Structure 1
Amino acid sequence: MATQLGAGEDRSIALDWQDRRLPMADTPDLRAALAEANVQTLLMVYVHLTHDAAMLDVFQNYIHPPFAMPGTDIPVECQTDLREKLHHVLVTPGAARTDAPSQALMQRMMSVGVGEPVDDEFLPLLMDQIGFEQPVPRRERSGRAAPPADFKVLVIGAGLTGMAASIKLTEAGYDHVVIEKNPEVGGTWYENRYPGVGVDTPSHFYSYSFEITPEWTTYHPVGADMQQYLLHVADKYDVRRHVQFNSVVTALAYDDDTAMWDVTVRRADGQEEVLRVNAVINGHGPLNRWKWPDIPGLDRFHGRKLHTATWDPSLDLTGKRVAVIGTGASGAQLVPAIAPQVEQLTVFMRSRHWVLYNPEIADQVSPGMKFALRHIPHFREWFRFRVYWFAADGLFGNVLMDPDWPADSPSVSALNEGMRQYALAHLHAKFADRPDLIERLTPDFPIFSKRIILDNGWFDALKRDNVALDNGRIAEITETAIRMEDGTEHEVDVIVCATGFDVANMMGNLDIHGRGGRSLRDEWGYDDPRSYLGVTVPGYPNYFMTVGPNSAPNHAAGQNLISEVQVNYIIECLDWAVAAGHRAVEARQEPFEAWNEQIATRMRQMIWSHPKANSYYNNANKRNFMSWPYRLVDYWNAMRMPDKDHFDLH
């Protein structure tokens, strides 16, 4: 397991980083933090505390995206001057201003801090997501109608989204219950424990905006660190008192007469119970239903067989001949983690993936940097801003097609071609002595048209003497081997399937019947889910989805943001119905159809419509059912509150 939150600390104890008062004690730890911490963020903190805009003038000519960390283009004398001035402000009584910077100054700070303009439209999102402006809890809002005491909400799943829903429902005064199939919270981060499991999203953004933590051990969290964060959140917000563990929702049926949902729940002992609730929030997530590959003979293999999503921590691979089927994100994380201990590792690659090198992917957060995040006022908020800016909408240009770009190009724009060349340069540098691997690993589709891989030892592992890459087609699996179509046989002791999840089947095994007995399975089929804004569907009053059709941020990091804003939208819908004296809210058919037509039209402008783009974002008919084809800021704005003309109340 990775280091827990606050190494050596009990996660039930209040973390001392929440006390960030001035003046600070002039300690060696503070001086070390100022020496080690990200200099662009220190600049933001200094100006925030002093309103000294002249310091922005000094630095604005030296800060350009993208950055190294710390910034190497900034003259040493400027950095030294900044650190000395900030040190004085932090330790001297009365040296820091107590009033907040004006919005104009904040916007200029942001623009200088990232080396490019931060437009007005981003300010509300940024102030919310980086933690400078937290909304007043709904129960405390003047004039808001309190939910009726008998109004009950059921949440499916206690992962990242389900926990956010529980916390915000509590803040809003809604009685609710969370049904969770596992014995603990965490969802995908509880379940995925394979060696090397990690997170693509940078650590200091991949958290709730209302619970920003400095306690990350690396700049990209390993899975165990993410789970520890969620355990900390569950403790702090007392989430578990709402959760019924080891329970599975199997069916939902809407009662037209009472505007209630009958929810069938199967308990661990197999017994079923029907819970009657007013509203359902489905937070079971797309990365929850793992799947075996469709390979003849898989069931007759006599050795050990497992999926990355159901990893057995007691499995000892030392000296074993191991096969890994799949080279997506899970496979690329697993292979370098287990390669040093196995006798022979054969990697079976069905399709190629673009691989990006991020030099900080495995970097440890230094003690000084962690001290700054814990104790220096405003540092963690401003650092989160930096991470968001470069991991989120700054990448959107990569997935937007340039209509004047050659149609037969393996890229879709100049920016996309630049990223392609960056990835190719890394590939060629890593395998300069292995041209055979360069040819076998180079994709022929545009980069970002399907999920990219971050190189955290993946390419190095493929060069090991005990690792072989086979990109041929598997014909069958025998009792002891994997047989290829060309007749080659690979004798193996263990087969690991890193073959992903059944994402297109967004209902999972749920049986959902809405108004008039209509069936969502009949309407969606197996892999053609459609919704209004990724949250609601006509005919299913008070049934809300999270990470629903065409709401995933596939151009960038940001699932935590999507989860938060969808929960906000759902509670706004419920609040509206309650205030109007109704019991249910339902999306209307015409806005639903218009929205899906808008998505279809927009998708033709996106990278996912490139002829060679094929990924799990698409269903069997090549329709992208998953991706949000706009920016995160656009979804944040769309989720502020429902358009009342697009809904009916019951």
Structure 2
Amino acid sequence: MTTTSTSPRTDAVDDVYWREEYTPITADDAFLARIVAEADLPSLLLALAAATGDRSLLRDELRPGFPPGDIGPAPHGGLSDEAQALARELALAALTRVRDERITTPRRLDDAETAALLDFLTNGAGDADTEVLRHELDLAPQKLGAPRWSFDEVARGRDFTVAVIGTGMSGIGAMYRLSQAGVPFTAFEKNPEVGGVWWANTYPGVRLDTPTFAYSYSFAQRADWPSAYARGSEIEQYALEIVERARLREHVVFDTEVTAMTWHEEAGEWEVVTRAGDGTETAHRFNAVISAVGQLERPNIPEYPGRAGFRGAQMHSARWDHGVDLAGKRVAVIGTGASAYQIVPSIVDDVAELTVFQRSGPWMVPAPNCHDATPEALAWLGEHVPYYGQWFRLSGFFQSATGRTHTVVAEPGWEREDSVSPVNLRVRELLTEIIREQWRARPELIDTVVPSYPPGGKRMLRDNGVWAEALQRPHAHIVTSGIDHFTETGIVTADGEEHELDVVIYATGFLAADFLDPIQVRGTTGETLKEHWQGDATAWGGISVPGFPNLFIVMGPNTNYVVHGSQHFMMECAVEFAVEAIHQTLLRGVKGFDVTQEALDAFVAAVDAENATRAWGQPQVRTWYKNSAGRVSQIWPFSHVEYWQLTHDVDFDRDFTTHL
């Protein structure tokens, strides 16, 4: 177990994928013209202006407006045809200059250049937005995010260690920032490898349902992704590479699960009990704990009557049994969410019969390229134009800050239950028309496959037509009658029909509302976290809970998104708050902090009020976003900027209790 202090990282740039040299351009003018014709223009103009120092490329008439799209972003940030033509002319000349002058090294920007480039990207949105973007921009003179302090400078000789629970995406973020500050820490991982859900989920077809470039850390901006929507194995490889590049593996204890945690007030320490793969239990002492156990980790398998007596094979999507051969089998998939949407088209050609048990059909937004390789122009520019891939990522990051939020705001007094506003109804009609076209050969099933709930009430899936195509195969069936019970040979539905089966696949989601379960976490009063929450998990920023000092939850309550946002940004903000709280603990010579009840109550009231105005917060919408109390306990309804401000503009004296 490694808990020794290390020196802060001294890398010139806070990015483990940083490149000092890009491949020189040798292509002819005709090839460059084709690349420019296919490239995303706002990203290309920004990259070329940064690489060459020529800010004349950033003309006012070429500023991307990024008009909000009802079902997808406007091409090239909404530039007119005339503006696109001018942008391509300027970009081609600048790209030729990059070739002829052999510009292969990224230029670090000064404050004025950074401000000009971000003002162009955001169309003058203002300081709050550009501050957040500086968190993502390696080229900025002071990229935000990394700790500006070191353990040795603040607390040399103090016996202080941190436990990180889990090494999925949240845990990797926590380890990275702690290592930058030189804080001694140990990470416990119950699996034999890092990656979290991307290690655990190996079902057929597993991949991102968001564009790949959006799924990355600010400190690990990979630019050579092979797929437009990365396969699960590609994201797992990304996790492995970060751990190796950042030298984090030495801090991880694998095959070791945390089972219990108890706060000892007098010592100012958490007693953390772990259980190794051989069953051995060990008690450790840490001054702070960062929980990165994730939300989509513990499978939810409904307890249908008779399920234990079913003689066929059963598996949850997150616990895929590769020893089960589906060829020629009668297979059931229960659920129609993200994993089912990927599994069904991937297995339909192998099975003898496929039955999908559906509570409600999914809404899907068009994404014709979701199974495609990264576009040639994007891949080529990422290899040959310094920092292009990162500008492409930053442009997408900025657009995701608002995303399709305008489509899910509920209009007071709106009487239809299938939508929440005129805009939401328009989205419903647009998406329904797409579904009608996909199912034109089976019009009798339209009412079955069109969702009854408002668009945006649940996360929308990415649609390239394969779901509809798979379910229209002669041997595929959709069952909408509820499951009554299992028999030894199949499933009987509420209408009395028995469906004979060989394999049942549960695409039934996770126990997402049971944060930190099954770990028994006991705080200052002796009460457990589960007893404290009583089924309604709340935490300030999703991170801190009164009575549980120096416990920092990453991706805790109310930190998920539906139609906008970046999960990696939310993870990083939570981790950066935790690291700063540790800094304040060391700087002040105290035992630690936890949030006051007043600050938590104010936070929850604001989040609840905003969620009540969104599609997912409407009473007719049934979703895992709501806990057993009916409260939306999963979703962050505000913007990137507001979460950044919450977690970085913190008054520890006003909103937190100090443990002396």
Regarding TM over 0.5, the answer is yes
**Counterparts of 1:98-497 in structure 2 under 5 Å?**
100=110, 102-111=113-122, 118-133=125-140, 134-135=143-144, 137-138=146-147, 145-146=154-155, 148-403=157-412, 406-456=414-464, 457-497=466-506
Amino acid at match of 2:562: N
RMSD: 2.8
1:592 maps to 2:600:
yes
**Residue in structure 2 matched with residue 504 of structure 1 by the alignment:** 513
Give 1:237 deviation, angstroms: 0.9
Give 1:390 deviation, angstroms: 3.4
Q: Which residue of the other structure, out of 620, 623, 627, is the alignment partner of 1:612?
A: 620
Aligned residues of 1:444 and 1:612 also touching (Cα < 8 A)? no
CA distance in 1 between partners of 2:154 and 2:308 (Å):
57
| Of 42-51 and 470-479, the range deviating more from structure 2 | 42-51
CA distance in 1 between partners of 2:595 and 2:65 (Å):
50
CA distance in 2 between partners of 1:98 and 1:137 (Å):
17
SS at match of 2:315: strand
SS at match of 2:260: strand
Give 1:409 deviation, angstroms: 4.9
Q: Which residue of the other structure, out of 51, 65, 73, is the alignment partner of 2:54?
A: 51
**Residue in structure 1 matched with residue 8 of structure 2 by the alignment:** none
1:40 maps to 2:47:
no
| Of 406-415 and 212-221, the range deviating more from structure 2 | 406-415
Q: Which residue of the other structure, out of 520, 525, 549, is the alignment partner of 1:541?
A: 549
Render the CA deviation track for 1:613-650: whole Å, top value 9, x for unaligned.
12001012211111112112211221114322111222
**Counterparts of 1:65-104 in structure 2 under 5 Å?**
66-68=73-75, 74=81, 78=86, 80-93=88-101, 100=110, 102-104=113-115
**Counterparts of 1:576-587 in structure 2 under 5 Å?**
576-587=584-595
**Residue in structure 2 matched with residue 649 of structure 1 by the alignment:** 658
Aligned residues of 1:35 and 1:83 also touching (Cα < 8 A)? no
| Of 97-106 and 183-192, the range deviating more from structure 2 | 97-106
Give 1:144 deviation, angstroms: 6.1
**Residue in structure 1 matched with residue 19 of structure 2 by the alignment:** 18
SS at match of 1:591: helix
CA distance in 2 between partners of 1:335 and 1:523 (Å):
40
Amino acid at match of 2:120: M
Give 1:498 deviation, angstroms: 0.7
Q: Give the TM-score taking structure 1 as reference length.
A: 0.90
List alignment gaps of at least 5 residues for structure 1.
1-13
CA distance in 2 between partners of 1:267 and 1:416 (Å):
50
Q: Which residue of the other structure, out of 554, 558, 562, is the alignment partner of 1:554?
A: 562
| Of 418-427 and 529-538, the range deviating more from structure 2 | 418-427
CA distance in 2 between partners of 1:227 and 1:442 (Å):
34
Give 1:429 deviation, angstroms: 1.3
CA distance in 1 between partners of 2:147 and 2:118 (Å):
28
CA distance in 2 between partners of 1:97 and 1:548 (Å):
38
Amino acid at match of 1:158: T
SS at match of 2:59: helix
| Of 53-62 and 612-621, the range deviating more from structure 2 | 53-62
Seen in structure 2, the aligned counterparts of structure 1 residues 69 and 346 have a Cα distance that, compared at 3 Å, is farther
CA distance in 2 between partners of 1:194 and 1:581 (Å):
49
Amino acid at match of 1:633: V
CA distance in 2 between partners of 1:239 and 1:127 (Å):
25
SS at match of 2:517: coil
SS at match of 1:219: coil
CA distance in 2 between partners of 1:600 and 1:19 (Å):
46
Corresponding residue pairs, total? 630
Q: Which residue of the other structure, out of 617, 621, 637, is the alignment partner of 1:629?
A: 637
SS at match of 1:251: strand
Amino acid at match of 1:640: H
| Of 562-571 and 382-391, the range deviating more from structure 2 | 382-391
SS at match of 1:512: strand
Seen in structure 2, the aligned counterparts of structure 1 residues 28 and 370 have a Cα distance that, compared at 3 Å, is farther
Seen in structure 2, the aligned counterparts of structure 1 residues 77 and 511 have a Cα distance that, compared at 3 Å, is closer
Aligned residues of 1:63 and 1:73 also touching (Cα < 8 A)? no
SS at match of 2:154: coil
**Residue in structure 2 matched with residue 516 of structure 1 by the alignment:** 525
Seen in structure 2, the aligned counterparts of structure 1 residues 181 and 94 have a Cα distance that, compared at 3 Å, is closer
Seen in structure 2, the aligned counterparts of structure 1 residues 416 and 20 have a Cα distance that, compared at 3 Å, is farther
CA distance in 1 between partners of 2:516 and 2:58 (Å):
54
Give 1:98 deviation, angstroms: 7.2
CA distance in 1 between partners of 2:485 and 2:76 (Å):
48
Seen in structure 2, the aligned counterparts of structure 1 residues 345 and 431 have a Cα distance that, compared at 3 Å, is same
CA distance in 2 between partners of 1:142 and 1:159 (Å):
25
Give 1:167 deviation, angstroms: 0.9
Seen in structure 2, the aligned counterparts of structure 1 residues 421 and 142 have a Cα distance that, compared at 3 Å, is same
CA distance in 2 between partners of 1:211 and 1:86 (Å):
28
Aligned residues of 1:19 and 1:375 also touching (Cα < 8 A)? no
| Of 577-586 and 276-285, the range deviating more from structure 2 | 577-586
Amino acid at match of 2:303: D
CA distance in 2 between partners of 1:321 and 1:94 (Å):
60
CA distance in 2 between partners of 1:192 and 1:158 (Å):
15
Give 1:440 deviation, angstroms: 0.6
Give 1:503 deviation, angstroms: 0.7
CA distance in 2 between partners of 1:25 and 1:439 (Å):
54
List alignment gaps of at least 5 residues for structure 2.
1-14
Render the CA deviation track for 1:166-190: whole Å, top value 9, x for unaligned.
1110111110000101000000000
Give 1:140 deviation, angstroms: 5.5
Amino acid at match of 2:543: V
Give 1:297 deviation, angstroms: 1.3
Seen in structure 2, the aligned counterparts of structure 1 residues 591 and 144 have a Cα distance that, compared at 3 Å, is farther
SS at match of 1:400: coil
SS at match of 2:213: coil
| Of 28-37 and 480-489, the range deviating more from structure 2 | 28-37
Give 1:19 deviation, angstroms: 3.1
Seen in structure 2, the aligned counterparts of structure 1 residues 79 and 397 have a Cα distance that, compared at 3 Å, is closer
Give 1:362 deviation, angstroms: 2.0
SS at match of 2:164: strand
**Counterparts of 1:562-581 in structure 2 under 5 Å?**
562-581=570-589
Amino acid at match of 2:486: I
CA distance in 2 between partners of 1:357 and 1:99 (Å):
37
| Of 270-279 and 619-628, the range deviating more from structure 2 | 619-628
Aligned residues of 1:323 and 1:346 also touching (Cα < 8 A)? yes
| Of 49-58 and 479-488, the range deviating more from structure 2 | 49-58
